[in-house]
């Protein structure tokens, strides 16, 4: 009986592998957008190709940021008010465990080793968690009120909102190797796919700092709209999108020369932004108007508005496993 069952599991696993391989060969799998709604404590799931909401996942109170483990399809959602991280199964669309880590966890990233890097707004540190057990592996002191964080192959970059700087964390030693001065009140942070540039949205100076990762210096400051709160790049790295909360717009910039290509009018108080894998669309969470704007990056126009839960802040795109 037991032997029979393990044989079945083995065959099932093999079929799954075949299925995954076929998917890659035939067509790219569907992409889904996960929208974190802080006010009504839900995640709205959107079919990115159809541009429509397909599910709602209830989570604990006041969720803020989201990151994914690409391999397992697990989603990690921070709750700064409750000192916890919810773990969401993106296949079952449900929370299946909670990591109670204390403090005020805000920004989150998953590193290549599957560890969670979680900023703490009030304790001015990054906690390092085992992505499977939730065990706290370490604590890294960074600047004041660290907001968002992004992880590359060997380093993570943290935007320190109250220190006007970016902390560079060496992922091998889990130590800050460098601190780079940027504009005023850096909040959102993005890493180009080639890892050559780190892009930081500075809320108070209404501009974007460009950090060259070779010498870890800010090499350009690009004017954005008012109160830039979200940064996302095309997977090709050619275009950078910045959501401007006070202006209610999305700036679309060319990485070549940092030229402003378009300014798209979106919803009210936009924040989180993500770009589809084909590079055609940006999805922007509009915190005040409780919806997501879809912006065509070629024409620079909003083409769709999708209703979501209340107070959407961050968004994440993930291919369906």
Two structure tokens written together for 321: 């496993």
Q: Any bridge partners for residue 155, and if so which?
A: 170
Among 23, 47, 55, 81, binds another protein (CB under 8 A): 81
Structure tokens at 165: 């700087």
Q: Which is nearer to another protein, 145 or 202 (CB)?
A: 145
Q: What residues between 39 and 58 interact with another protein by CB under 8 A?
A: 39
The pair of structure tokens assigned to 59 is: 């989570």
Distance CA 66, CA 300 (A): 26
**Closer to another protein by Cβ: residue 104 or 142:** 104
67 makes contact with another protein (CB under 8 A): no
- Interface positions, 189-228, toward another protein (CB under 8 A): 206, 226-227
The distance of closest approach from Cβ of residue 287 to another protein in the complex, given in angstroms and rounded to an integer, is 7
Least distance (Å) from another protein to the CB of residue 81? 6
Window 130-169: residues binding another protein (CB under 8 A): 144-145, 161-162
Using CB under 8 A, which of 31, 33, 34, 38 touches another protein?
Answer: 38
94-100, strands of its sheet edge to edge: 66-69, 74-79, 84-89, 94-100
For another protein, which stretch binds (CB under 8 A), given 68-76, 165-173, 235-243, 245-253?
Answer: 245-253
108, two tokens:
């989150």
Report the candidate in 194, 267, 190 with the shortest Cα–Cα distance to residue 231: 190
**Cβ 154 to another protein, closest distance in Å?**
28
Shortest CB 122 distance to another protein, Å: 5
Q: How many CB atoms lie within 10 A of CB 257?
A: 8
317, 274 contact by CB (below 8 A): yes
Instruction: Specify the stretch interacting with another protein by CB under 8 A; choose among 7-15, 23-31, 80-88, 176-184.
Output: 80-88
Q: How far is the CB of 177 from another protein (least distance, A)?
A: 25
In Å, how far are 120, 158, 228, 231, 272 from 163, measured between CA atoms? 14, 11, 17, 19, 22
Closest distance of CB 27 from another protein, Å: 39
- With beta carbons less than 8 A apart as the criterion, state whether 250 and 273 touch: yes
Query: In the set 174, 288, 300, 320, which binds another protein (CB under 8 A)?
Result: 288
| C-alpha to C-alpha distance for 108 and 150, rounded to whole angstroms | 8
Shortest approach of another protein to residue 116 CB, angstroms? 17
Contact segment (CB under 8 A) with another protein among 7-15, 19-27, 46-54, 240-248 equals 240-248
- 98 or 246: whose CB is closer to another protein? 246
With tokens 């108080």, the residue in question is 269
DSSP string, 75-133: EEEEETTTTEEEEEETTTTEEEEEEE--S-EEEEEE-TTSEEEEEETTTTEEEEEETTT
List of residues contacting another protein (CB under 8 A): 38-39, 62, 64, 80-81, 83, 104, 106, 121-122, 144-145, 161-162, 185, 206, 226-227, 245-247, 268-269, 287-288, 311
């Amino acid at each position: 009986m037991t032997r029979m069952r393990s044989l079945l599991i083995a065959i099932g696993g093999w079929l799954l592998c075949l299925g995954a391989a076929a998917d890659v060969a035939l067509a790219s799998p569907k992409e889904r957008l996960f929208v974190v709604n802080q006010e009504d404590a839900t995640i709205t799931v959107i079919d990115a190709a159809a541009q429509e909401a397909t599910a709602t996942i209830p989570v604990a109170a006041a969720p803020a940021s989201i990151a994914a483990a690409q391999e397992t399809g697990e989603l990690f959602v921070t709750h700064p008010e409750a000192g916890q991280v919810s773990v969401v199964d993106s296949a079952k669309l449900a929370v299946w465990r909670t990591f109670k880590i204390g403090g005020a966890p805000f920004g989150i990233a998953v590193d290549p080793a599957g560890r969670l890097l979680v900023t703490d707004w009030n304790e001015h540190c990054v906690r390092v968690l085992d992505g499977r057990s939730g065990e706290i592996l370490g604590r890294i002191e960074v600047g004041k009120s660290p907001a968002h964080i992004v992880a590359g192959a060997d380093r993570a970059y943290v935007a320190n909102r109250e220190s006007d700087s970016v902390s560079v964390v060496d992922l091998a030693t889990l130590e800050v190797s460098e601190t780079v001065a940027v504009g005023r009140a850096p909040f959102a942070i993005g890493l180009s796919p080639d890892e050559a540039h780190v892009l930081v949205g500075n809320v108070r100076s209404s501009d974007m700092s460009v950090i060259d990762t070779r010498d870890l210096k800010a090499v350009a400051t690009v004017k954005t709209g008012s109160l830039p709160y979200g940064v996302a790049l095309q997977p090709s790295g050619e275009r950078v999108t910045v959501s401007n909360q006070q202006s209610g717009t999305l700036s679309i910039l060319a990485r070549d020369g940092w030229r402003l290509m378009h300014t798209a009018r979106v919803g009210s108080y936009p924040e989180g932004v993500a770009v589809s894998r084909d590079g055609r669309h940006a999805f922007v969470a509009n915190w005040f108007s409780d919806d997501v704007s879809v912006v065509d990056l070629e024409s620079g126009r909003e083409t769709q508005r999708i209703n979501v839960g209340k107070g959407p802040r961050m968004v994440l795109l993930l291919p369906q496993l």
